[in-house]
Chain A
Amino acid sequence: MLVTLSGSNLTDASGVITRRIQNKVTIANAVAITDTANHEYNLITQGGLTEDQIRRYSDFKISIKSTCDQAANVVVYTAMAAHNVTTATTSGQLYSETSNLPANPGGFLIMQSGVNATGAGTTSKSVPALKSVHSNLIIRVTFPVAPTTGSVTITVEMNG
């Protein structure tokens, strides 16, 4: 798929306009987490996409909403294509930060490839590695203190 930097369509050599592809999947739909265990969600197992489908996209934005009464740690992994594309591995870790998903209110976290400008929200994170080809993305959510209320929703927007 060929596009200009502004997002407009390019034509191929024969003059046929190529089209951008975009998609959005929810990989965690209002999960009421009750413990301190690692909870992992990925585009294949929960998103229902195949490796081939995921590799058609080259830019990803991950949005997380939490209405829980505790903060959580969120880690983003890319799949190890030479290993197991649904397993989170240390070498595949793209982004990690403690308590990056705040407790409610304000329980929002966005991870995207662009560079944030002055005044950007503190829970909008720039992860340049999200602008790449991935065979899968795995998001791990861990609450150091188990929440007693609320839920977590994770959505991934993809641009190709």
Chain B
Amino acid sequence: MPQETQTAVNWALHQQYQVDPGVTANVFDIYKDMASALVDTVRDYFNTNNITYSTFSYIDLEPYL
């Protein structure tokens, strides 16, 4: 995992996640056990900050939780 992973995870846990795009009601705070939301948001952090990464999953983020 990139060296920025801890920063990405910490940031993601303070974000909100929209389950269904376009449906305002389906926006939730992200918690540690929300695997898909957490992975997607960490990935967004990597993309936004031009961080190179390879395929990863929730289990790869568990050491940072």
Say yes or no: is A58 at the interface (Cβ < 8 Å to chain B). no
Q: Which secondary structure dominates chain B's binding surface?
A: helix
A31 to B20, CA, bound (A): 19
Q: Is the CB of A151 within 8 A of B36?
A: yes
Knowing A30-B35, A104-B21, A105-B21 touch, does A150 contact B40 (C-beta < 8 A)?
yes
Size of B's binding interface in residues, CB under 8 A:
19
What are the interface flags for B18-62 relative to A under an 8 Å C-beta threshold, 1 for contact and 0 otherwise? 001110000000000001101110111001000001111111000
Contacts of A28 in B (CB 8 A): 57
In residues 129-153 of chain A, which contact B (Cβ within 8 Å)? 148-151, 153
In residues 1-53 of chain A, which contact B (Cβ within 8 Å)? 28-35, 39
Q: Which residue of B lies closest to A151 (CB)?
A: B39
Residues of A within 8 A of B (CB): 28-35, 39, 65, 67, 104-105, 148-151, 153
